[in-house]
Amino acid sequence: MPHDEHCHPDTLAARGLGDAEPPYYDIVPPLHLASTFERAADGGYPGGRVYARDASPAYDAAEALLCRLEQGAAAALFASGMAAATAVLLALRPGARVVAPQAMYWALRRWLIEFSTNWQITLDFYADGDELAELLGRPADLVWVETPANPTWEITDIARAADLAHAAGARLVVDSTVATPVFTRPLNLGADIVMHSATKYLNGHSDVVAGVLVARVEDELWARIKSTRASGGAILGPFEAWLLNRGLRTLFPRVRAAADSAASIAAHFEHHPAIAAVLYPGLPSHPGHDIAARQMEGGYGAMLSLRIRGGEDAARAVAARVRLFRRATSLGSVESLIEHRASVEGSGTRCPVDLLRVSVGIENVQDLINDLEQALRATAD
């Protein structure tokens, strides 16, 4: 029995899960670069590996740790969050019915619409839990949940969605990128698969694009997903997998510090005269707060959005005037980012034009508040 069996998840992450191994007993795992593995004279594979597209030892450390953190049966790294998400959908049969949220990562929503048309998938969108319940009065194959959801941080009750999905004969997949395993464990709440853009909090340093899926059970759907990775070839490079593993070791302190700062920033600006609304699930005024308080443990994440009084021009002006926040898309890194989301998403966006999406990092929170204050003041003058 591994001696970390009864440790808390933050201990598992800090230690990178693994035990040091011979011959050098390295404190960090080695980097496995091999694309292929030697066969024995008897035709067997003594190392248990054949070819790196099928199963690379470069993934073992991060996959094992993510499996433990999400409390699943199996994990698979992918070349990106989108590669992970699309692998689930590509494992469906033509004619399947998918139920997905109105508020979700926009690139996935756009792809899903194209894919469903080409693949003869029936696709229905829900706006909230009650609409989801109504849509699941009929049989379905897959239910997608993103919580908190981009870019307004709507909260979906995972346990309720799981009950509804299973009663309709569907699997539940949760995009938990924003919640992270620090605050939510969807598999324990009844989800079948949890997905992360590991580009975000899991890696946490804006230097890797990666994705991961963790499954509650290794069933036939999981086998099809693994086959999509191996044959479709959307695999992560060994060095990116190694960097991801390094980033994971500081996951808990990074995410907790960022979420504490996000809560302070949300509270500071909630009644600010230049702000029309602060969208953050940790605020009691947020429509999803009660569910978030039940299903998120220890924090509400580090993503929030500010709706700026004065509309689109004022929002863009504030984004132009910040000095510490970096103007960039993406989220979940140690540096704070801000973006005018509607103009990033472009035509067809559902994002309000006065909205600035903020990914809070681990800088000093007073410096971040001061930076937003000076940008808001300069815009109001």
Ligand X SMILES: *Cc1c(COP(=O)(O)O)cnc(C)c1O
Note the residues at the interface with ligand X (CB under 6 A). 80-82, 105, 108, 146, 150, 175, 177-178, 197, 199-200, 209, 211, 331
CA dist 372 → 27, 167, 268, 337, 369 (Å): 41, 47, 11, 12, 5
Q: Which of 59, 97, 105, 192 is catalytic?
A: 105
**CB 296, CB 308: distance < 8 Å:** no
Q: Measure the N-to-C terminal CA separation of the chain; round to a whole number of Å.
A: 65
Helix axes 81-90, 220-232, angle to 10 degrees: 120
Q: Is 105 a catalytic residue?
A: yes
Cross-strand pairs, 74: 215
CB of 125 to ligand X, least distance (A): 16
Q: Is 4 part of the annotated catalytic residue set?
A: no
- Cβ proximity to ligand X: between 211 and 247 the closer is 211
Distances (CA, A) of 339 to 195, 266, 270, 289, 321: 24, 16, 19, 24, 12
The CB-of-149 to ligand X minimum distance in angstroms stands at 8
CA angle 84, 85, 88 (to 5 degrees): 90
Helix or strand or coil: residue 327?
Answer: strand
Long-range contacts of 363-368 (CB under 8 A, 24+ apart): 363/261, 363/324, 363/335, 363/336, 365/260, 365/261, 365/264, 365/265, 367/324, 368/261, 368/265, 368/324, 368/325, 368/336
Nearer to ligand X, 179 or 314 (CB): 179
- For ligand X, give the closer residue by CB, 251 or 375: 251
- Which DSSP state fits 28? S
Please tell me the distance from the alpha carbon of residue 198 to that of residue 211, in angstroms, as a whole number: 5
Least separation in angstroms between residue 257's CB and ligand X is 19
Packing angle of the helix pair 238-248, 60-70 (nearest 10 deg): 40
The CB-of-104 to ligand X minimum distance in angstroms stands at: 7
Establish whether 175 is a catalytic residue. Answer: yes
Q: How far is the CB of 331 from ligand X (least distance, A)?
A: 6
**Residue 53 known to be catalytic:** yes
Least distance from C-beta 351 to ligand X, angstroms? 14
Identify the active-site residue in 171, 200, 229, 254.
200
- Of 198 and 368, CB closest to ligand X: 198
Q: What is the DSSP string of 197-216?
A: ETTTTTT-SS----EEEEES
Residue nearer to ligand X on the CB measure, 12 or 279:
279
- Closest distance of CB 339 from ligand X, Å: 12
Which of 175, 192, 354, 371 does the annotation list as catalytic? Answer: 175
Minimum CB distance to ligand X smaller for 57 or for 81:
81
In the sheet that holds 275-279, the strands lie side by side as 275-279, 303-308, 355-359, 337-340, 326-327
Please provide the DSSP assignment of 294-310 as one string: HHS-S---SEEEEEETT
Which residue's Cβ has the minimum distance to ligand X? 81
Q: Which of 53, 224, 309, 321 is catalytic?
A: 53
Judged by beta carbon, residue 82 or residue 243, the one nearer ligand X is: 82
DSSP 126: E
Which residues form the catalytic set?
53, 105, 175, 200
